[in-house]
Structure formats: structure tokens, C-alpha cells
Amino acid sequence: MIEVIGLSKQYGNILAVDNINAKIERGEFVFLVGPSGAGKSTLIKLLVCEERPTSGKIIVAERNIAKLLPSELPYYRRKVGVVFQDFKLLPQKTVYENVAFALEVCDATRAEIEDKVPKILDLVGMLKRRNNLPSELSGGERQRVSIARAMIHNPKILIADEPTGNLDPVNAWEIVDLLERVNNLGTTIIFATHNKSIVDRLKRRVILMKGGKIVSDRIKGGYAI
């Protein structure tokens, strides 16, 4: 489903991603790990087309997304959900409105919004908090809303960039469990993290980056930095 071929990204004299190759199959759950500066964040930006590669290809569903036209980017990004460490919720909007907004900007009808938003909030366990503002939620609840927003377009791929980084251990594991349930529904998950305990416990595929390169790609294994 996703394949990067000879992928590099250079900023001035810094080679943030250095000629990497990897393939992720449909429905996989993959951890992306490595120390700060390893190239994980740059790779994620390349996967969601926030950056263009200096060289190489990124094949998603048999298409090289590095060649997408600007007019094609909004459609592609609706097919790739992204969850961030800092939630990125709109503070003046309620839980329901934050998720609905992702549909409104795509010109969804009122009927579509009223049908889809409650269902996705129920999936993440936030339907009862639909009228609350982000300031009234715990960190774990905010991240659940973030996941709901990322999933509202039923994306085939969900990229989670340090989604547990700002959470206490209990809330962190609840988010991990939720992402596992999303994966079990068929969504491909790429989970970037520094949390070794999560990686070791789940025993999923682990791609380790250092210095812009992939130095290890292990199935069902932990990692050591």
C-alpha cells in the first residue's frame, strides 16, 4: 500500500532523510522509532505531502504522491488521517464541532455531518462529551477527539505522530488500545513514538531510523537506541 523508493530530503547541507527504502502493506500496524533528529518527522511530512522529496518516490495505492499537483493534495490528505502530539483542536469549538469542521471544509451536507459525526464519536468513546469544549477535557479525551477528526473521512492510512507524548501512562495506554481497534477495522497505522514500553509490549513491526537512514526493520520486535 505504501512504498518509499530511494527517498531523500535535504535542507541545505542537512540530509534529513537519506536514500531510504521501505514497504508497508495494507492493514499493517508499524512503529516508526528513533532518537531526536533521526528523520521521523521529516518522513511523516513527506508522507502527508507537507514536504516534497529531494529525490526518490513515495508510492501510495500505486501512485507516486511526490508528483501530485497542488489541486490534488486536499483529496489525498482526506485519505490519510493524521494525529498529532499536541491535538491541534480548535479551542472555541465543541467536540462535535471540531470533528464536524473536518467535513464542513469538504462541503459535506448537513445530513452527512449529522450521520457521520455521532458514529465516529461513539467509536472513540466521546459521544457523551460532544458538547464540551477542549478546555473541559483531559489530555486523553482531547486525543480521542483528535483521532475522531482524523478518522472522519474513513482514511485507509492513519499516521500518529507521538500521539501519547503529552499523556500520562493510563491515558497513553487507552489511546494505544484505541489505535489498535482502529487498525483491527482495516486501517493501516504508522505510529511514530519515543515510548519504548509501548513498542515492546505491542510486539508489532518496528522501523528504526538514525541519521536519516533506516537502520533496522523488524517484525514483532522491540528496539534499542
Alpha carbons 40 and 29: distance in angstroms, whole number: 16
For the segment 107-136, what is each residue's pLDDT rounded down to a tens digit?
899 999 999 999 999 999 999 999 999 999
For the chain, give the percent of residues with pLDDT over 90.
Answer: 84
pTM: 0.91
Task: Output the CA angle 165-224-146, nearest 5 degrees.
Answer: 20
Structural domains of the chain ordered from first start: 25-54+68-79+155-225 (3.40.50.300), 89-154 (no CATH)
Alpha helices in 7-85 (DSSP H): 40-47, 73-78
CB proximity list for 203: less than 8 A, separation 6 or greater? 220, 221, 222
The one-character DSSP state at 50 is S
